[in-house]
Amino acid sequence: MRDQITDISEQYPLFPLSRETEKKPASYPDPAFWLYIYPAAGEHHNIVIPGSRLLCPWGMAVEYGDDNTPPERRKHLLEALKTGLKTLREYHLPACRILFSEDNSTRQITVWVD
C-alpha cells in the first residue's frame, strides 16, 4: 500500500492534469458566462403565468450577445440574469429552480423561483 502513495514534494509541486482540466467560467457579463451558470430551459416546467411566457436563459444569453438587440432590451436581459444569479447565491438554490418570465404586453422580464 505504501508503494502506491505519491509523495508531493518539490519534484511534483502541482499535478499538471488538475491544472489543465480546471473549468473557468467566461468573464462576466459575457453571454458565455450565463450559459455556464444557467441550464437550458426544458419542457419540464408546468408553471403557467397568466399574460406572460417563460424564457429560456440560453435564449436570453444569445439575445443579450446579439448586436442587433436594442440597448434597452439588452439592459432588461442583463438585469434579469443578474437578479436570477443573486437569488441563486442568496438562497443557495440550484440554477434549474430559476425561471424567467416575460410579460406579453410590456416585455418586462421577471424572475421566479420554482
Which of residues 66 and 44 earns the better pLDDT score?
A: 66
| Overall number of domains in the chain | 1
Span 33-62, average pLDDT: 84
Output the DSSP codes for 10-50: TTSSS-HHHHHS---PPPTTSHHHHHHHSPPP-TT-----T
Please report whether residue 42 resides in a domain. yes
Cα–Cα dist 114/99, whole Å: 7
Q: How confident is the model at residue 59 (pLDDT cuts 50, 70, 90)?
A: very high
Identify whether 107 is part of a domain: yes
State the average pLDDT over residues 71-88.
Answer: 94
- pLDDT computed for residue 28 by the predictor: 67
Within a domain: residue 3? no
The pLDDT value given to residue 36: 87
Is 73 part of any domain? yes
For residue 53, what is the enclosing H or E element?
strand 52-55
Which residue segment(s) compose the domain that 96 sits in? 26-113
